[in-house]
């Protein structure tokens, strides 16, 4: 018999169109869901990024807007020349707060009898105590004067009874320890000694507002600025064009000290401390003020 060749039946092909349509529909559905869910997150992320960028730009702009430091004056040659014409010995520090540098000095760590300069340190620490509640500024301290009134009087009028009462009440050793923690190393209240560097440093604290708030800083500086004429014959008299916040101390013909903050007419401030041995007159101090003012104005 002839062999009949059978052909295998071709496999039945499935219609893939419905499946393709289903897959496409599923993809569109997923995309729609993703857009609905993720879009707010993306928007939020973009908004945050924009906020951060804006903040970064503001910081950058702020940094760019920071004013450059004013020119630094080398005052040392001027001070050296002035010293060469003096017979008494002087300890000097002139500090530039804007540049955070001492721009002139002479024998800054020599210890002197402080005379009334000790009152500046006591007044400063008393105001710190008023702020933190360690002392009651309204409490009577001496002769009917409150503690705060005594702080004013010991600076404005160099009132010794108030200064001595406050120093005794706060304790000489306690005061010594507290100023030492401020970096003021050679000011001792038991023997009442200080240096030009220590005096300049307490003035630096005042200028920079390190411990005192704005109210107490203004209170202290006003007491240093508005004083009877007999306390203004040194630095303030030598350069009256400047504004001076000062504290003076003297001991007959042996010592005349004057320390303060000099504010130039343009507003720039300098810390000036000049202590003397063998000079009991404000005249050389006034001459020193006039000399440095001409160089710094």
State the chain's mean pLDDT as an integer: 86
Check residue 29 and give its pLDDT: 54
User: Is 104 in the same domain as 38?
Assistant: no
- 2 is a domain residue: no
Query: Hey, how many other C-beta atoms are within 10 angstroms of the C-beta on 37?
Result: 9
Residue 70 lies in a domain: no
Judged on CB neighbours under 10 Å (0-12, 13-18, 19+), 84 is: exposed
Q: Would you say residue 228 lies in a domain?
A: yes
pLDDT reading at 43 higher than 60 = no
Q: What angle do CA 12, 15, 21 make, to 5 degrees?
A: 160
Residue 14 inside a domain? The answer is no
Consecutive H or E run containing 52: helix 17-65
CATH number at residue 153: 3.40.710.10
Specify if 3 maps to a domain: no
Same domain, 256 and 109: yes
Residue 24 reports pLDDT greater than 90: no
Give the pair of three-digit tokens for residue 5.
Answer: 């060749």
Q: Summarize the confidence of residues 123-135 as an average pLDDT.
A: 98
pLDDT for 10 equals 41
Banded model confidence at residue 53, pLDDT cuts 50, 70, 90: very low
Q: Pick from 7, 36, 65: which residue ends a domain?
A: 65
* Local structure of 80: helix, strand or coil: helix
The residue with tokens 């440095």 is 292
Same domain, 54 and 186: no
153-171 mean pLDDT: 98
Do residues 92 and 201 share a domain? yes
Last residue of a domain, one of 65, 96, 121: 65
Q: Which domain holds residue 29?
A: 20-65
**pLDDT greater than 60 at residue 27:** no
Helix (H) or strand (E) holding 37: helix 17-65
Per-residue pLDDT, averaged over 6-34, amounts to 47
Within this chain, do residues 28 and 172 fall inside the same structural domain, yes or no? no
The SS3 call for residue 155 is helix
| pLDDT, average across residues 189-204 | 97
- 55 and 102 in a single domain? The answer is no
This model's pTM is above 0.85: no
What is the mean predicted confidence (pLDDT) over 230-247?
98
């Amino acid at each position: 018999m002839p062999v009949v060749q059978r052909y295998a039946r071709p496999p039945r092909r499935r219609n893939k169109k419905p499946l393709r349509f289903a897959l496409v529909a599923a993809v569109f559905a997923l995309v729609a869901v993703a857009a609905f869910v993720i879009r707010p997150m993306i928007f939020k992320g973009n908004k945050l990024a924009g906020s951060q960028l804006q903040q970064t730009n503001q910081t950058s702009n702020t940094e760019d807007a920071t004013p450059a430091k004013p020119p630094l004056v080398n005052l040392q040659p001027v001070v050296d020349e002035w010293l060469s014409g003096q017979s008494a010995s002087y300890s000097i520090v002139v500090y530039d707060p804007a540049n955070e540098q001492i721009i002139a000095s002479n024998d800054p760590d020599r210890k002197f009898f402080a005379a009334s300069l000790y009152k500046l340190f006591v007044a400063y620490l008393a105001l710190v105590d008023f702020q933190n509640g360690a002392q009651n500024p309204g409490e009577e301290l001496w002769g009917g004067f409150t503690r705060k009134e005594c702080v004013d009087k010991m600076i404005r009028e160099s009132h010794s009874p108030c200064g001595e009462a406050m120093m005794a009440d706060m304790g000489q050793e306690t005061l010594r320890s507290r100023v030492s923690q401020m970096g003021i190393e050679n000011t001792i209240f038991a023997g009442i000694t200080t240096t030009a560097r220590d005096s300049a440093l307490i003035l630096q604290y005042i200028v920079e507002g390190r411990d005192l708030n704005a109210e107490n800083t203004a209170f202290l500086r006003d007491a240093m600025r508005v004083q009877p004429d007999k306390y203004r014959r040194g630095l303030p008299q030598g350069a009256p064009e400047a504004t001076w916040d000062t504290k003076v101390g003297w001991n007959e013909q042996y010592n005349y000290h004057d320390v303060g903050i000099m504010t130039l007419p343009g507003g720039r401030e300098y810390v000036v401390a000049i202590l003397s041995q063998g000079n009991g007159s404000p005249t050389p101090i006034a001459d020193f003020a006039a000399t440095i003012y001409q160089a710094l104005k």
